[in-house]
Structure 1
Amino acid sequence: MSDPWGGRSGQATRNRTTGAPGPRAGDSGAERPVAGRAAARAAARRVDGGGGGGSGRRGARPVNRAGRGRRVLKVFGLCLAVLVLGTAGVGWWFYQHLNGNINSVSLDGKGGTEKPDAFGRTPINILVIGSDGRTSAADCKLGGGCSQTGVQSGYGNADVEMVVHISADRSNATVMSIPRDTMTNIPACKDTENGTGTSGYYGQINSALQYGPACQVSTIHQLTGITIDHFVKLDFSGVVKMSDAVGGVSVCVNGNVYDTYSHLKLSKGTHTLKGEAALEFVRSRHGFGDGSDLGRTVSQHLFLSAMIRKFKSAGTLTDPTAVYDLADAATKALTVDDGLGSVSKLVSLAADVNKVPAERMTFTTMQTAPDPTNSDRVVVGSGAKSLFSTIANDQSLTTGSGKKAVASSVTATASASPVSKVSKSEIDVTVENGTAIRGRASAVATALIDGGFGSGTTTANAPSAAASTTLTYGPDRKAEAQAVAKALNLPGSALKMGSAVGLTLVIGGDWSSGTTYPDIATTAKTATANASASTADDSKTCAKVSTYKTVSLNGVPMTPSQAYAAAGNKPDSDE
C-alpha cells in the first residue's frame, strides 16, 4: 500500500453514439546528431519520434490548615483522575466500538500499485460500490424482491460504481461514475471469503461483484488502467443510515416526479431527504434524464455533492452527538478493504478528502457508446480513454477559481526556488514521439532548442505507443528535469526517475498538439467531452425529470410528471 496513512436488473441504459479512436501510426525517421542551434532546429524538424489565620477562640486548638489543604487537593486530584480515566474509558470504548463495526476484506493486490510523483507524493484512488444485494432483513424491506428468495447471501451486483480520485497534493478530486450496464471483460478471479470464482468472461460490469469486491476492483483496474488503492461498499440500509446521520440531504428536482419503480415521489423544487426518501432518490433511474442508468449517475452526483456540502458546513462536524451518530452509522454501513479496516485509517482518509475544496471536486460519468450486439447495453465510448488517462496521471479537471492549481504542477513548485545550477544550454533532452501524430517530437524539440536548451537535444520514435506524457531523468538530474518541466508546463506527475543517464521526454496521447503541455482547462475539456461534469459546490442545479414515458401506473405508460399527477393519493417521499 503506497498511500501515506496506511436495484436489480431494470430498464437498460439508452444508447449513445460516439466515434472510436484510430490505430497508432509510427513516425518516420530516427534520432539524428545535431551540431549548432541552426542545425539542431533543422534536425528536429526533419526527425521525429511518433496539528490561614487563627480560629478567633482563646485556648482553641490550632487547626492544621496545611493538612486540610493537602486533603482537599488529594480529593480533588482523585476526582480529577477518576474523571479523566472515565472520559478516556468512554473514548476507548467508543473507539473499540467503532472498530468492531467495520467489516473489511482483502483486495489481494488486485488494484495495482500507486507510483509517487517527483516529490514523493501519491494520489489515492477508491472504488465506491453501491450494492443491490438483499443480504439482511433491512435490505430486503428496503429493496424488495425477497418474498420468494428470502435474505440472500453473497454481495449482489455493483449497481453503483464510482472511482474517487484524490490528487497527490490533495488540491483536487475527481469522481467518475461507470454505468452499471457497461459490457466489458471480467478477469479471472476468486473470492477468498466464500470461494466463488470465475475463469473470466465477457459480461455486464456490475456482475463482477458476485465474485467478491476484489474482483470488482480488478475489473475496474483492467478497464480503466487506473490504480485502485481501496474500495468502500455501501448497501441499501447504509444509504438510509448515512443520510439520517447527517440530518438529511438537500436536493432539487426541476419538476414533479414519481418513479413508480424506486417509489420516489417529489414535487418540483428543493427537498431535504432522509432515510428511505434518500434511498429512493439515489436508486431512481426511471425518474431522471432519459430514464436510464446514465441519468441516474447525474442525480447521484447531485446528491453526493449536497452531502459533501453538508459535511463541510458549520456545525455538522462540531456537534458531538452528530459526530457520534455519523461515525456509528458510517462504520456499520461500510464494507472496506483491509487498508481502511480501522477507525484511524478511515479518519485519515476523511481528513484527506476534507482538504479538497468543494469547488475542486469534479463529478463526471464515463463516456459510453451503444453495444453493437445488444441495444440495451453500452460499451466504453470515444473520449473515455482520455478521461481514464487524466485520472491515472493525476491531472485535475478543475481549478475552481479558473486559475492554475498552485501545488499540482512542477511549474509552480519550480518557480518558488532555483531549479538548477546548470545552464539551460547544457541540458540536452531526447524527445520521443509516443503518439499517432507525425511531427510531435520535432515540434517540441525545436521549441526546447529555441528556448535555450541544449543543441544536443534529439528526437526519435518511442518504443511503443504512450497514453500519457512522461519525462524520465537519471540520477542527480532531477533539477534539470524540473527546468524542462517548467519550460513545457508539465505536471509533477509526468516526472519519473530512471536509471539511465540523461533526460528522455516521451510525448503521449494526452499531448496531441502545441509545444507546451495543455493547461488544466484544455485537459478538462478534452477529458469530459461527451460526458456530464459538475463540481461539488454547485447548489443551484436541479435533477432533470425525465420527459419520456419511463414509468407505468396501473399498467399505463407515462412520464414521471404524469404519474405524479395521477397518484394524488400517494404521499410525497419527504412527507
Structure 2
Amino acid sequence: MADEPTRNGADGTSAGDPSGPSTRAGKAVPGGGPPAPLTVQELIARSGGTGVGRRRAERRGAPPAPGGRQPADPAPRTGPPAPPVLPTGWQPAMPSTPPEDDEAPRPATPPSSPSPSLPLPPPLSASPSAPERPAGPPVRRSAAPEVAPERRPTAPPRPPARPAPPATGSTAAPSSPPVPVPPRPSAGPATPATPAAPPAVPDRPRPTPTPTPRPRPAVPAAAPPAAPPRPPAAEPRPVPAFPGTAHPSAPVPGVRRSLPIPPIPGLDVPAGGNSAADPGPGAERPPPSARRRRLTRIAVAVSALLGLVLAYHVALYFYVDRSMSRVDALVTDGPEVVAPQLQESSQTYLVVGTDLPGRSGLASVSTLVAHLSADGERATLVSVPPTAATDTPACRTGEDDVRPPVTEPFAAALLEGGPSCLVRSVQQLTGLRIDHYLAVDLGRLPGLVDALGGAAGCLPGAAGEPTGEQAREYLAGSVGPNGTDVTGAAAAERQRRLLAATLGPGMSAGLVTEPVTLARFLTRAAGAFTVDEDTTLAEVRTLASTLGDLSGDALQTATVPVAAIGSVPAGGDQAAVVVDGTATRALFDAVIYTGRLPEDDPAEAAAAPAEPAPAPAAVDPVPEGTTVTVVPAAVTVDVLDATGGGRTAEVADALVGQGFRVGARGAEPAAVTRTVVRYAAASLELARTVAAAVPGAVLVETPEVGSAVQLVIGPDVAGPVPVDIGTPVPPAAAPTAPPAASSSCG
C-alpha cells in the first residue's frame, strides 16, 4: 500500500518536481536561503493525516519520493495494492503482534496537544529508474479505513534488520522506489485531495490534525522465496567452574564471559576434591572391610598397650629417681682439684661400697674411683685402701658444721665426717674432680641379684647364675683363703664385678618387656643407692653399662700405690697403710692428662740388665722337716690385734715370756679373719720362729712390711708356746694358694 505524495509548500508543488521552490522537503525560508527542516507535525498536517504509510516506509528503509508525496499513477491499477519495496539489508521493525483484521477499524486516537517540533533527516533521493508520475488528484485504491497515527516516544536509532521478502507476483526490484500511496480519506467516499496547508510559521509549530481511521485493505500473504537457513542463535553456555571453587559462573544475558571467575580465598572450597585421595565433602566413602576393621582394632589396642607400658616405665623411672637417698656431697670447685680445665669433658664417679658382708669398721668400706673418658670408650678404675692414712681438708658435716682438716684413715672421712668429707679426701689424694657420688649398700646388693633371678655374670666359685646368697658369700670371701685383705683391693674388685653383673642387666632395655621384674629391681635399687643432689638414675645406668661392657685394654684397674702396711705411728695405737705419695701423684696425673694409667718408667727400663734375673720360684715357706733356726731372743715382733677385742697386751706379754722382743703394739683395722705372720722375703727364718711359737698362725709374705715381722691376732689365736732351735715348724703354717680364676670370669 502506498501513501499519497507529500507536498512541501503552500503552492502544492511536489517534492520531486525540480521546478518547485526547493528540491528538499522543508519550509521555505524568506530570502531564498536553504529550507528549514520539517517537523513531524508539519509533515502529518501536509499529508492530510495519512502519514502512517510514510512513517512505515521510513521504518522499512524505503527511499521516499522527492517532495514527500508521489503523484498517482496515470491509470488506476486493479487488484490488490502492491506492497512497498524495501531496500536490501533493511528489515522493518514491526510489532510482534499479528496483523489486525482489515474489516475491523481501529479506534481513532483522541486529539492531543501539539508536541514540540522534531527535526527530520533529509529525505532519500528517488531512484533514477522510477518513473515520474504527473501531479493530479489522488486516486483512491481501496476503501480500507485509515489508521490513526501512532505516537512513539523518542528512542535511539535501531540497528538495521534484514529486509522482508517481497510479495508474490511483484516485479519491483529491491532498488525500485516505493509505490506511491493514494491519500486516505477521513471518512465516507473518496474526496479530492485537500488543499495544501498554509505556509508554515517558523516561530511556532502547527497543530497536528486528527486523522480519520479507515479500514486497511487485506493483502494476500504471499509465500516468500526460499532463503538460506539462518543458523540458530547460540544459547549462552554456562561458564565452567574455576578449578578449586564450588561456585560455577552463571551466564548473564547480554554479557559475554571470557574468563572464569577466580576463587575467593577463605570462602570457596573444592567442589569435587583435588585428587582421587580427596573425593570431596559430598562423596561417600565405601565402608571398610572386615579385615581392615580388625586390623584397625588390633592397631588401636597395640597402640594403647604401648602407651600404657611407656607411661608405666616413665612413672616408674621418676618414682625410683625420687626415691633414692640424696646428699650434698660434691665440691667441684675445691682448691685440691688439679687442672680442672682438662677434666671438663670427662666424668669421674666416686663409687663407695658400705656394709661389706663379713667386715666391720673401716674394713667394711670399699672405694672405687671410676674415671670415664669423654667418648665413654675407656675407663680407669682405681681402688683406695680403706685404712690408708690420708689428709682430709676442712669439710662440712652438716648444715652449719665444718670439720677441721685432719690426717686419718681414708674410710674414717666417710664414717666420721660424711660423704662431703670423703669427696674432699679423694680430691685431695687424687687431684681428680668428683662429678658423681654413688654409695651402694653392699649388704642389700644380694637382694638386687634375687630381684633379677640371678646375676648375669660369672662369679668365681658359683655354678651357673649366682643367687643372692652366693653373691653374699662372694663379697665376704674377699679376704681370700689366707684371711687377709689389708689394702682392700680384693674387696674393690669383687664389688666391681658384682655391680657390673647386677646393674647392667637390671637397667638395660631388655628388661622393659618384664615390667614386674623391672619394678622389683628398681624399687630395691632405690633403697640401696645414695647419690648426690645432681646425679640421676640415667647417670647411674651409664656407669653400670660402662662397667659391664668395657673389657680388655678399654678397662684398666689399679690400686693406690702403698709404701707400707701395718704401720703404727708414734704415739698412736692403730696401724695404717702408708701411701706412696710420689707414685700416687704420677698415677693420677696420667689419668688426668691422658685418661690412662702410666706406662713403665723408661729410665728404669734402660737401667735394667740385658738379661733379667729369673723370677724367684714359689718357695714353700714350710717344707717337710722344717725346723726353727733362730732363737726367740733374736726375733723382734710387732703385735697387732685385728679382732677388736683388745688382746694386744695379752699376746704381747706372753711372747715376752717366751724370750721374744716386742716392737710396736696396736690395732689392725684392715680385714684379717685369721692369725697371720706377715714378713718380707729376707725375714723368712725369723717368721718361722714366730709361727712355731704361736700355734695356728699362717706365714704370709708381704713386701710392704719391710724388715719387720708382724703378728696379726685373729679370732683363732692360741697362746704362745716355748720354742728353741730345732723345734719343728708345723706344716699348717704354710699359706694356701688362692684358687685360679675361671677364664670365663675375666
Larger RCO: 1 or 2 (CA < 8 Å, sep 6+) = 1
**TM-score, with normalisation over the residues of structure 2?**
0.37
Q: Specify which structure has the higher proportion of strand.
A: 1
Structure whose CA Rg is larger: 2
